[in-house]
Amino acid sequence: MNAKHSGQCLCGEISYSVDIEPVFTGNCHCKDCQRSSGSAFIPAMLFPEKDVVVSGEVKYFESQADSGNIHKRGFCPNCGSQLFARFSHMPGILGIKAGTLNDSSNYVPKLDFYVGSAAPWDFMNPELPKKQGAAQN
């Protein structure tokens, strides 16, 4: 049986699968996500970490967000693909970057957040709700 959501890094050294629906989906437009992705936003899916099966050794880079919380971005040490995120204010939750999904049609964002930091050239779906700051505020 195929997992509901599965994906991998560019070189295939790290893969993941999860058989449940995400607890949250949304596009983060904060400056850190822009810098770390090299793009306008990061499409994020959040899952209980206990439900995500990860194969391969993930390396994490830690930084402090504008909120003061610690954000750890997980990537493949071989190809550099950014796959995961852990948040100090949400223990037990694992973020997955939707661009790493094997079938990206499974990603359906529910919100654009940190739109106050969005790049001026970014085009956002006008049908999605917008938040100036964090998704949970």
Q: What is the pLDDT of residue 1?
A: 44
Q: Which amino acid is at 42?
A: I
For the full predicted model, state whether its pTM sits above 0.85. yes
Report the C-alpha gap between 89 and 30 in whole angstroms. 17
pLDDT, tens digit (0-9, with 9 covering 90-100), for 23-71 = 999 999 999 999 999 999 999 999 999 999 999 999 999 999 877 889 9
Cβ contact 47:84 at 8 Å: no
Report the C-alpha gap between 42 and 56 in whole angstroms. 22
Domain boundaries of the chain, sorted by first residue = 5-117
Tell me which CATH code domain 5-117 carries: 2.170.150.70
Cβ contact 82:98 at 8 Å: no
Cβ contact 109:24 at 8 Å: no
pLDDT, tens digit (0-9, with 9 covering 90-100), for 79-131 = 999 999 999 999 999 999 999 999 999 899 999 999 999 999 999 999 999 99
